[in-house]
C-alpha cells in the first residue's frame, strides 16, 4: 500500500463534517428531528434514502472514565449487554441478528459507551425489538461472563504483541497519570480479573441512565412514523437518575520532559509517540488547530511525513494528531522506524515540530491545507453510520450543527496571522512527553537526552 | 424450503427495485489506445473519485524482482515529466484531493478522491504519470527505505502476515502466488532503476488499465477529458500471459514459524479455483457460513462453545488464477495447536458429511444482500466494486447480479465444494508458535 489507510483515516475522522447540499462550498447537515422522551432519553431521527438500510446508535454516560478501581469495567459492562436478555440467550440474539444480515455491537470509549445496530429497512420491527431488549433487560448471564473474562485476559496479553495496538494506551497513562482520562479502556489483567458480575450489574444501574443517554437513528424511514415507533418502544423504559459527579480538569502542565521506554525485547522497530497537552472538544479554535495539524502531520504531504518518509525513507509513515475530550485533550506525533534509526527519526520529528514554531506557515501552504480539509469534508458523512456517530457525538460533547454548517466559513476565515497565534497557543514546544516501544537495550542510553527516563517491560501488567 | 426461497426472492426484488443505482446507469467508453473508462454519475455529494485498476500484481513477478509491483505502486507518486518529485501529491492535495493505492497478487489499484470541481487536475496528474513517468535515482533510494519499513512494520504488528508468507510459499510449488506481495527483503534491497523502467514499459500501457469514475461528474465531461488527457497516450502490445499453472498438490504440507506470541496460531490453506470459476459463489458462501458473525460455525463452536480458540477468520482472496482458501485460528490459553487444528477440521468434516442447514443458507444470502447495499452506500464503495467485478468477474454488470447469483446457490452446492476442495491432500497447515526454550529440541 502507498500508505496505511487506517492510520490516516484516524487522523481525518477527527474532522467533523457534513453532507453537502448541492452547490459548491455550502455544507449543511441534512435535516433531522431532535426530541426528548418523558423518561429523559434524547432522540435524533434523520432520513437518508440512498440505500434501504437503517443505522441506530445509542450512547450512555458509561465510558471508562467511570472505571474506578476496576480498569476495564465500563467496556466489560458494555459488552455484557449482549450476553443475553430476560427473553433471549446470547446465542439467540446472535442467530437472529446474523440471520437478517444485521450487525449489533456494544463497546465503551473513554467518555461514553455506545451500542450500534445496522439492519435492512425490511427488518426494522424485528431488530428494534431486539435492541430494546438488550438495552432495557440485559440478563448478565454468569456463564457468558466467565467465558468472556477468560478471553479478555488472554486478549490483554495478545494486544501487547503489537506495539501499534498499545502505544496510545501507554501515552494516555503517561499524560494523565491517575486522572480517569488515563484509564485504559480495555482494562488491565489485574482489573479485569477483579471484576465480578455484581460489579457489572451495579455499573449498568448507575451509568445506563436515560437522562444522560441519546439514540440516533439514520436511514431509510419516514421520520413521523419512526417518531411514533420509538416513542412506543422506549417510553416505558425507566432508569435511575444520573449520579456521577463531574470530573475535575486534568493538570497537563508538565514541568519537565519525560520518557517512558517500554521494553519489547524481540522488537525490530522503535514505535514512538511524542507530544503533550492538546485542546478540549469545546475549544473555539478547534477548526484552526485541525487545519494547522493538517500541515504538520495530517496528510500525505504533511511536514512530518515529508521529512521522515519521503525525504529520508526512515519510515512507512509519520503523522500528528489532536485527540479531543470534554475537559482537555492530547497532542501527539506518531511514527516508527527500525531500531538502528530510532534516534535519527525522533530527532527529526522534534525538529519538524520545532520548525512549526520557528518558521511557521505561509499563505500558500495554508491555502493548500484549507482546500484539503474542505475537499474531503462531504465524504466523511456519506454513510448512515457516520451521521449517527456525528449526532451522538453532538450529544456527548455538547455541540450542534452550527459546527458543521459553519465549518467551511471557519476554514475560509483563517489567516496567516491567526495561524501564528494558534501555533504558539496550542502546539507543544517544550517539556515534551515521549513513549518509545522497542528493544530497550539498544536505545536505553541514547534516549536519556530527551528527558527523565522510566522503563517498563511490555509484558508487565497494565500500562 | 422452496416456499421460503421464493418469498425471499420476492423480497430481494422488492429491495433491488428501491436501490438508486441500476446497471443501466453505468456507462463505458473504450478509448482508441484500448483504455476502458467506466462512469457512474452520482450527484449525492459534490465529490467524485477516479479508480485506476492496472492488471499487474505480484503474479507477474519472478525471483529477483519479487515485490516490484508493489514498489512500482509507490514509485508512481514520485515524479513524472510535468509534475516532478513530490508534485503529484502536492498538487492533488492543494486542489482538495487525496489519494491512496494498493497492490495485490493480481492488480495494482490507484485511488483519487476529490471535490468534483477539481476533476481536470486529476486527469492531468494521472495522464502525466501514465504517459511520462520519470524515475529519479534519489527518490528510488528513499522509497526503498519506505518499503523496507512497510514490510518490517507489517511483520512486527501482524501475526497473520508472519505466518501467511511461509504458508503461501509452502502451499504453492510453482506459481508466483508463492511469494508475498511486498516481496523478499533481499529483492527490495537490490532491484534497480532498469527493473522499474522495464516494468513500466511492459505493464503500464493504457490498454492494461480499467478506469472507474464515480460521483458528481457527467458522462460528457468524462468523455471530453478522457479524449484530451488519456487517449493520446499510446497503447502497447498486451503483456505476456502468466504461463505457470500450479500442479495439483498430492499430499498434505506443513510449516512451522516462530515468533514470540501469547498462544499458538493455526492456519489451514486449501487450493481453490479462480474467482471466475462457477464454484466461487458457493465457496464464498461457505466462507461466510464458517466465520461470518458469532453464530457462524467456527466462531460459535470453537470460541464460544468449546473455548479452544480466541479468534477465528476465513479468507478467500479474489484472484485471477487458482488461489487459496484460508482458515485462521488463534488458540485460547493453554490450548495446543494440535487441539485447535483438530477442532477446525472437525467443523469442516461436519459440513462435508451433513451439509449446511436451510437457516444457514438463507442467513448467508441475507448477509450478502446487506453487504451489497453497504458497498453501494458510498461513491468509493461503488467505484471499488465496479472495478473489482470488471476485472475479476469479467464484467461490472455481475455486481448488480451478485445478489441473484448468491440466491441461486443451493445447500448441495456448498456441501459439494466443501467435499471437493477441503481434502487432506489439498491442504497446507501452518503453525505460528513461540520460540522453543533452549535445551528442548525434538
Decide if B99 and A2 are in contact by the 8 Å CB cutoff: yes
Chain B, nearest residue to A6 by Cα = B100
User: Which residues from chain A sit within 8 angstroms of residue B19, using beta carbons?
Assistant: 51-52
Distance, in Å, from the CA atom of B325 to the CA atom of B348, rounded to the nearest integer, reads: 13
Distances (CA, A) of B130 to A378, B50, B120: 29, 14, 15
Decide if A379 and B379 are in contact by the 8 Å CB cutoff: yes
Shortest Cα distance, chain B CAs vs residue A187, angstroms: 18
Does the complex come out with an ipTM higher than 0.90?
Answer: yes
Express each pLDDT in A35-57 by its tens digit: 999 999 999 999 999 899 999 99
Distance, in Å, from the CA atom of A318 to the CA atom of A302, rounded to the nearest integer, reads: 9
Specify the 3-state DSSP secondary structure of A365. Answer: helix
Q: Which residues pair with B314 in a beta bridge?
A: B327
Decide if A161 and B262 are in contact by the 8 Å CB cutoff: yes
Chain A, nearest residue to B145 by Cα = A313
Task: Select the residue of A103, A122, A367 nearest B11 (Cβ to Cβ).
Answer: A122
Q: How confident is the model at residue A26 (pLDDT cuts 50, 70, 90)?
A: low
Express each pLDDT in A103-142 by its tens digit: 999 999 999 999 999 999 999 999 999 999 999 999 999 9
Decide if A99 and B362 are in contact by the 8 Å CB cutoff: yes
| Axis-axis angle for helices A90-99, A124-136 (nearest 10) | 160
Distance, in Å, from the CA atom of B265 to the CA atom of B312, rounded to the nearest integer, reads: 10
DSSP-assigned states of every residue in A295-363: HHHSSTTSHHHIIIIIIT---S-EEEEEEE-SS-EEEEEEEEEEGGGHHHHHHHHHHHHHHHHHT---H
User: Which residues from chain B sit within 8 angstroms of residue A291, using beta carbons?
Assistant: none
Nearest alpha-carbon partner for A60 in A122, A106, A27, A14: A106
Nearest alpha-carbon partner for B275 in B394, B399, B107: B394
Shortest Cα distance, chain A CAs vs residue B386, angstroms: 17
Shortest Cα distance, chain A CAs vs residue B76, angstroms: 10
Specify the 3-state DSSP secondary structure of A148. Answer: helix
Decide if A374 and B152 are in contact by the 8 Å CB cutoff: no
How would you classify the pairing of strands B36-41 and B209-215? Answer: parallel
Dihedral of alpha carbons A330, A335, A338, A342, sign: negative
User: Which residues from chain B sit within 8 angstroms of residue A305, using beta carbons?
Assistant: none
Distance, in Å, from the CA atom of B308 to the CA atom of B339, rounded to the nearest integer, reads: 8
Q: If you average pLDDT over every residue of chain A, what do you get? A: 94
Distance, in Å, from the CA atom of A15 to the CA atom of A294, rounded to the nearest integer, reads: 10
User: Which residues from chain A sit within 8 angstroms of residue B98, using beta carbons?
Assistant: 299-300, 372, 375-376
Decide if A374 and B96 are in contact by the 8 Å CB cutoff: yes
Residue numbers of chain B with a pLDDT score lower than 50:
1-18, 440-442
User: Which residues from chain B sit within 8 angstroms of residue A53, using beta carbons?
Assistant: 370, 373-374, 377
Distance, in Å, from the CA atom of A334 to the CA atom of A275, rounded to the nearest integer, reads: 9
User: Which residues from chain A sit within 8 angstroms of residue B113, using beta carbons?
Assistant: 376, 379
Q: Which residues pair with A324 in a beta bridge?
A: A329
Residue to test with chain A: of B10, B144, B262, B407, most A Cβ within 10 A: B262
Decide if A2 and B369 are in contact by the 8 Å CB cutoff: no
Task: Provide mean pLDDT across the span A390-394.
Answer: 97
Decide if B152 and A268 are in contact by the 8 Å CB cutoff: yes
Q: How many interchain CB pairs under 8 A, A with B? A: 219
What pLDDT was estimated at residue A235? 87
Decide if B333 and A154 are in contact by the 8 Å CB cutoff: yes
What pLDDT was estimated at residue B438? 64
Q: What does pTM read for this prediction?
A: 0.93
Decide if A154 and B20 are in contact by the 8 Å CB cutoff: no
Shortest Cα distance, chain B CAs vs residue A157, angstroms: 6
Q: Please, what is the Cα angle at B425 between B421 and B429, to 5 degrees?
A: 90
* Polymer length of chain B: 442
Task: Select the residue of B99, B148, B156 nearest A267 (Cβ to Cβ).
Answer: B156
Decide if B93 and A91 are in contact by the 8 Å CB cutoff: no
Distance, in Å, from the CA atom of B112 to the CA atom of B88, rounded to the nearest integer, reads: 11
Express each pLDDT in A261-293 by its tens digit: 999 999 999 999 999 999 999 999 999 999 999
Residue to test with chain B: of A1, A23, A263, most B Cβ within 10 A: A1
Task: Select the residue of B102, B158, B366 nearest A100 (Cβ to Cβ).
Answer: B366
What pLDDT was estimated at residue A3? 66
Residue with cell 519510515: A315
Q: How confident is the model at residue A426 (pLDDT cuts 50, 70, 90)?
A: very high
Distance, in Å, from the CA atom of B442 to the CA atom of B425, rounded to the nearest integer, reads: 25
Express each pLDDT in A298-308 by its tens digit: 999 999 999 99
Distance, in Å, from the CA atom of A349 to the CA atom of A82, rounded to the nearest integer, reads: 44
Task: Provide mean pLDDT across the span A166-190.
Answer: 98
Decide if B99 and A300 are in contact by the 8 Å CB cutoff: yes
Task: Select the residue of B101, B115, B378 nearest A383 (Cβ to Cβ).
Answer: B378
State the cell numbers at B429: 497447515
User: Which residues from chain A sit within 8 angstroms of residue B368, using beta carbons?
Assistant: 101
Dihedral of alpha carbons B304, B310, B311, B312, sign: negative
Decide if B90 and A266 are in contact by the 8 Å CB cutoff: no
Task: Provide mean pLDDT across the span A403-429.
Answer: 96
Task: Select the residue of B43, B142, B367 nearest A312 (Cβ to Cβ).
Answer: B142
User: Which residues from chain A sit within 8 angstroms of residue B159, using beta carbons?
Assistant: 161
Decide if A316 and B300 are in contact by the 8 Å CB cutoff: no
Contact yes or no for B261/A161 (Cβ under 8 A): yes
Chain B, nearest residue to A372 by Cα = B96
Chain A, nearest residue to B142 by Cα = A313
Decide if B263 and A153 are in contact by the 8 Å CB cutoff: no
Distance, in Å, from the CA atom of B310 to the CA atom of B296, rounded to the nearest integer, reads: 14
Distance, in Å, from the CA atom of A216 to the CA atom of A43, rounded to the nearest integer, reads: 6
Residue to test with chain B: of A50, A79, A120, most B Cβ within 10 A: A50
Q: How confident is the model at residue A427 (pLDDT cuts 50, 70, 90)?
A: very high
Nearest alpha-carbon partner for A173 in A353, A433, A427, A445: A433
Shortest Cα distance, chain A CAs vs residue B360, angstroms: 8
Nearest alpha-carbon partner for A165 in A275, A301, A49, A6: A6
Contact yes or no for B405/B280 (Cβ under 8 A): no
Nearest alpha-carbon partner for A423 in A434, A410, A413, A414: A414
Shortest Cα distance, chain B CAs vs residue A145, angstroms: 11
What pLDDT was estimated at residue B113? 97
Q: C-alpha A357: how far from its chain's center?
A: 28
Task: Select the residue of A94, A268, A337 nearest B294 (Cβ to Cβ).
Answer: A94
Distances (CA, A) of B435 to A109, A266, A438, B157, B431: 35, 11, 19, 17, 12
User: Which residues from chain B sit within 8 angstroms of residue A310, using beta carbons?
Assistant: 86, 142, 146
Decide if A316 and B153 are in contact by the 8 Å CB cutoff: yes
Residue with cell 478547534: A286
User: Which residues from chain B sit within 8 angstroms of residue A22, using beta carbons?
Assistant: 43, 46
DSSP-assigned states of every residue in B330-368: EEPTT--HHHHHHHHHHHHHHHHHH---HHHHHHHHHHH
User: Which residues from chain A sit within 8 angstroms of residue B100, using beta carbons?
Assistant: 1-3, 5, 8
User: Which residues from chain B sit within 8 angstroms of residue A100, using beta carbons?
Assistant: 366, 370
What pLDDT was estimated at residue A27? 65
User: Which residues from chain B sit within 8 angstroms of residue A155, using beta carbons?
Assistant: 310
Percentage of the residues of chain A whose pLDDT score is greater than 90: 93
- Beta strands, E only, A137-201: none
pLDDT above 60: residue A447: yes
pLDDT above 80: residue A17: no
Q: How confident is the model at residue A150 (pLDDT cuts 50, 70, 90)?
A: very high
Decide if B45 and A19 are in contact by the 8 Å CB cutoff: yes
Amino acid at each position: 500500500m502507498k500508505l496505511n489507510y487506517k492510520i490516516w483515516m484516524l487522523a481525518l475522522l477527527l474532522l467533523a463534517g457534513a453532507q453537502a447540499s448541492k452547490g459548491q462550498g455550502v455544507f449543511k447537515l441534512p435535516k433531522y428531528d431532535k426530541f426528548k422522551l418523558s423518561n429523559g432519553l434524547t432522540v435524533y431521527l434523520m432520513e437518508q434514502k440512498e440505500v434501504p438500510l437503517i443505522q441506530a446508535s445509542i450512547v450512555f454516560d458509561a465510558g471508562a472514565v467511570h472505571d474506578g478501581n476496576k480498569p476495564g469495567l465500563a467496556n466489560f459492562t458494555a459488552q455484557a449487554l449482549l450476553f443475553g436478555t430476560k427473553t433471549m440467550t446470547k446465542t439467540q440474539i446472535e442467530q437472529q441478528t446474523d440471520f437478517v444480515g444485521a450487525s449489533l455491537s456494544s463497546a465503551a470509549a473513554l467518555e461514553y459507551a455506545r451500542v450500534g445496530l445496522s439492519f435492512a429497512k425490511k427488518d426494522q420491527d424485528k431488530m428494534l425489538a431486539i435492541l430494546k431488549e438488550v438495552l432495557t433487560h440485559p440478563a448478565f448471564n454468569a456463564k457468558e461472563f466467565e467465558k468472556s473474562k477468560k478471553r479478555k485476559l488472554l486478549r490483554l496479553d495478545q494486544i501487547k504483541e503489537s506495539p501499534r495496538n498499545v502505544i496510545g494506551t501507554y501515552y494516555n497513562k503517561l499524560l494523565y497519570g491517575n486522572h480517569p482520562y488515563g484509564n485504559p479502556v480495555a482494562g488491565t489483567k489485574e482489573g479485569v480479573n477483579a471484576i465480578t458480575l455484581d460489579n457489572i450489574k451495579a455499573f449498568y444501574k448507575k451509568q445506563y441512565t436515560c437522562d444522560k443517554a441519546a439514540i440516533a437513528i439514520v436511514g431509510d424511514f419516514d421520520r413521523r412514523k419512526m417518531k411514533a415507533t420509538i416513542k412506543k418502544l422506549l417510553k416505558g423504559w425507566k432508569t435511575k437518575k444520573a449520579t456521577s459527579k463531574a470530573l475535575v480538569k486534568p493538570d497537563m502542565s508538565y514541568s519537565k520532559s519525560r520518557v517512558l521506554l517500554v521494553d519489547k525485547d524481540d522488537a525490530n522497530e522503535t514505535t514512538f509517540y511524542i507530544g503533550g497537552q492538546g485542546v478540549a472538544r469545546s475549544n473555539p479554535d478547534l477548526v484552526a488547530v485541525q487545519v494547522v495539524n493538517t500541515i504538520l502531520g495530517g496528510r500525505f504531504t504533511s511536514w512530518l511525513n515529508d521529512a521522515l518518509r519521503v525525504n529520508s525513507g526512515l519510515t512507512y509513515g509519520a503523522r500528528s494528531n489532536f485527540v479531543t475530550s470534554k475537559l482537555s485533550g492530547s497532542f501527539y506525533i506518531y511514527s516508527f522506524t527500525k531500531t538502528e534509526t530510532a534516534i535519527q527519526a525522533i530527532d527529526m520529528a522534534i525538529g519538524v515540530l520545532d520548525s512549526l514554531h520557528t518558521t511557521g506557515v505561509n499563505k500558500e501552504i495554508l491555502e493548500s491545507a484549507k482546500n484539503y480539509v474542505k475537499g474531503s469534508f462531504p465524504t466523511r458523512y456519506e454513510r448512515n453510520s457516520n451521521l449517527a456517530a456525528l449526532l451522538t457525538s453532538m450529544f456527548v460533547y455538547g455541540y450542534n450543527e452550527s459546527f458543521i454548517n459553519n465549518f467551511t466559513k471557519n476554514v475560509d476565515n483563517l489567516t496567516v496571522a491567526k495561524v501564528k497565534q494558534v501555533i504558539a497557543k496550542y502546539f507543544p514546544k517544550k517539556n515534551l512527553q515521549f513513549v518509545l516501544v522497542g528493544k530497550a537495550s539498544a536505545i536505553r542510553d541514547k534516549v536519556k537526552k530527551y528527558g527523565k527516563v522510566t522503563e517498563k517491560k511490555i509484558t508487565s501488567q497494565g500500562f | 424450503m422452496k416456499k421460503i426461497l421464493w418469498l425471499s426472492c420476492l423480497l430481494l426484488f422488492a429491495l433491488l427495485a428501491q436501490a438508486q443505482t441500476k446497471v443501466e446507469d453505468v456507462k463505458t467508453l473504450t478509448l482508441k489506445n484500448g483504455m476502458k473508462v467506466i462512469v457512474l454519475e452520482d450527484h449525492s455529494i459534490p465529490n467524485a473519485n477516479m479508480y485506476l485498476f492496472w492488471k499487474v500484481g505480484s503474479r507477474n513477478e519472478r525471483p529477483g524482482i519479487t515485490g516490484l509491483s508493489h514498489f512500482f505502486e509507490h514509485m508512481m507518486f514520485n515524479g513524472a515529466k510535468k509534475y516532478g518529485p513530490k508534485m503529484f501529491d502536492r498538487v492533488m492535495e492543494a486542489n482538495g484531493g487525496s489519494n491512496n493505492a494498493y497492490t495485490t497478487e493480481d492488480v495494482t489499484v490507484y485511488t483519487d478522491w476529490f471535490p468534483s470541481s477539481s476533476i481536470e487536475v486529476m486527469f492531468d496528474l494521472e495522464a502525466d504519470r501514465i504517459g511520462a513517468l520519470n524515475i529519479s535515482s534519489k527518490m528510488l533510494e528513499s522509497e526503498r527505505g519506505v518499503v523496507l519499513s512497510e514490510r518490517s512494520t507489517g511483520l512486527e504488528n501482524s501475526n497473520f502476515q508472519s505466518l501467511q508468507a511461509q504458508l503461501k510459499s509452502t502451499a504453492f510449488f510453482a506459481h508466483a502466488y508463492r511469494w508475498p506481495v511486498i516481496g523478499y527483503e533481499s529483492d527490495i534491497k537490490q532491484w534497480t532503476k532498469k527493473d522499474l523502467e522495464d516494468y513500466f514499459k511492459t505493464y503500464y500501457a493504457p490498454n492494461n488499465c480499467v478506469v472507474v469514475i464515480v460521483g458528481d461528474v457527467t458522462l460528457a465531461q468524462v468523455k471530453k477529458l478522457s479524449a484530451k488527457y488519456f487517449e493520446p497516450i499510446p497503447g502497447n502490445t498486451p503483456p505476456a500471459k502468466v504461463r505457470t499453472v500450479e500442479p495439483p498438490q498430492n499430499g498434505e504440507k506443513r510449516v512451522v514459524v516462530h515468533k514470540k506470541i501469547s498462544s499458538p496460531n493455526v492456519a489451514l490453506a486449501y487450493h481453490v479455483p479462480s474467482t471466475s470459476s462457477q464454484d466461487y459463489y458457493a465457496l464464498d458462501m461457505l466462507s461466510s457460513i464458517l466465520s461470518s458473525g458469532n453464530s457462524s460455525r467456527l466462531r460459535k463452536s470453537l470460541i464460544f462453545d468449546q473455548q479452544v480458540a480466541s479468534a477465528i477468520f476465513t479468507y478467500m482472496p479474489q484472484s485471477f488464477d487458482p488461489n487459496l482458501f484460508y482458515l485462521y485460528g488463534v488458540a485460547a490459553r493453554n490450548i495446543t495447536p494440535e487441539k485447535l487444528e483438530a477442532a477446525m477440521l472437525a467443523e469442516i468434516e461436519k459440513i462435508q458429511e451433513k451439509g449446511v442447514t436451510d437457516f444457514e443458507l438463507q442467513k448467508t444470502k441475507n448477509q450478502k444482500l446487506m453487504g451489497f447495499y453497504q458497498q453501494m452506500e458510498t461513491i468509493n464503495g461503488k467505484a471499488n466494486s465496479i472495478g473489482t467485478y470488471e476485472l475479476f468477474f469479467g464484467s461490472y454488470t455481475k455486481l448488480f447480479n451478485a445478489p441473484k447469483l448468491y440466491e441461486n446457490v443451493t445447500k448441495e452446492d456448498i456441501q459439494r465444494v466443501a467435499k471437493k476442495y477441503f481434502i487432506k491432500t489439498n491442504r497446507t497447515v501452518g503453525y505460528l508458535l513461540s520460540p522453543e526454550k533452549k535445551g528442548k529440541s525434538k
